[in-house]
Structure 1
């Protein structure tokens, strides 16, 4: 139990056993603790709590001298006996670096090791078996086997002798050979390039030229080869060719892309005209007016047709009950077409026959109705209509005859709607202007 002393007005205080009792044995150091004490052994000893004595520590068993060194344990300490090649510094053995005294020959290099050293042959020498080094014949080992090199052995090294067409490489201090670039001497003729090779060179014609009787001549690509890829016209140039496009087209590689002149603003056509882009040009069309403003309202860019290139105008009939005051005008209103629209299509000359030019489609207003598409006006030998089903408000304007441009053609299509009893409910009128380009693209 803790050893404490009671003092009046102070309470319990610690008793310093180390000064009052001297409890530790000779050689031990006493350390006072609160209510107790501790006996500490000196360096080289370990305290035995069971007997209360200090026992010697076996430092040798703990590997204090390291591997390969002899260790002698002593009371409270130890002693290291150094092996050859080691020197004692303090209580421990340290390696002696024999290489600082240059023990090896001039053609060898020294490698220090723990307690010793080794002599190894330098590059260019090999071990003779009696701790000496002799010159290595690098030429017999296959050195200088690159094209243009011949090997010559030297003491401790070798030299690559350059063949004709080769010279010493300054980046290797002349030890190796490099090719002589004859192309720096301007060896080839006009319209060709020089190709350097190992120890020589050859001349190759530029692209667009072919060697003929020792000189490079133009290939005339417009008559042969890639010049045939031009969509419109090919113009030969020295060593090459150039594709040309007619007025109204932009060139892109081999192709000609139409320029949309109508995108240039209102200055293209007059204020009362509508600009219609065509292949290679444009048309200024007079704006369409509706037949009777009392019955129709004009809309621009209708959504009635799912596919179109240009929709200029559509006149849609108003609701007759809202714009008529009596039965006579109501009947007159109902007799008008539900819509009158105008479309423009531009096509190239030589279009493959038959070809669909325009898909005409609108949303049905009632179920189980029949729709009848027919050409009311136009060239019957050039155009026709293809209607997949009479129960669907959809048809295609088909080109069936060859058209040559530049030319302009008009087709009027009547679209009638019938109820289930076969009575006509209404009709639509569609005027399509077909503009044919003089070009095939």
Structure 2
């Protein structure tokens, strides 16, 4: 029985002569051995065994587990080959030839090796490759094949992970390839990342990733559907409140524009009134007074009081009680000017009015005498000597409103009733700022 080396598990010997179809070809006889088999010429095998017969030349030994035939040199236990020795496992025969099997006699009397592979006298399977040896030959498989059941079958290298990424098996060979974004290394097996950013595929910025890349855009741009092109971002379309007046889109940004009479504030979005009166950028004469309001200005002519009123200051006209023509007329008319933003939110206190002279036993009545045709204003008395003008409805500009705000003084002790008027001119701007 064959011993099991290295304490490995051994299984009973397989009789290849029975299990393998046509294990030995031609005029060869199959002899089973432990772990293999021999192929011997039938003419030699049929001769009887003689102890004095010289040893048979190395027979061809086939070991299926090794994948190809090999030369088997049988050992004779006890170190002898005589009658006292152990008979070998194959027959010995007498040969009349001067050269042993596998050699041929040359003209000079020497024995030369027969190249069975070249003379095609071997018995290798058509799928195998013949390899000549001294006195014999071996059968093997070419690279990329292995011996299974006496046949050379293709090795599927892809099954065993020969390639790092993509593998294509071929008869006796294989080829490796890489996924998109990678290139094959010189070893033809592994792959390395391709830095796509070197080819500048992005219109703005590029960031290389493992096996791919990403494009990014500068501020004010967004990535297009193709993933590489950057298109301008229309910031003005995001909100109507981005600019106080008007938004103009620019490549990668935007700008705010203000109407005439305004300039863009430091924040770049708000509109600030341009005071033409302070800067001197106006058309008023030296005799006129420049009055600035939101988004513009006006030139006020010198005060001219209509009779029976006389001028007592640059903004006040008075009608004396001693003048019969002043009966039933306001004692004084005081001229005031103010500006108001278009569409100002309501209610809003916009002007205050109060008595400057107080008489014992007198009380005061405040009212809008004229100019409030649209009912946008009303007077709210805040004390016995003062009142506030309230804007109750928004007014759209540009518009100019003139209100006569009357303060009536009543003194029942001396049976006195008189009035004073503030003629308030309101310049309503065109824009709500």
Q: TM-score if structure 2 supplies the norm length? A: 0.46
Higher-RCO chain (CA-CA 8 Å, sequence separation at least 6):
2
Q: TM-score if structure 1 supplies the norm length? A: 0.46
Higher strand share: 1
Bigger radius of gyration, 1 or 2?
2
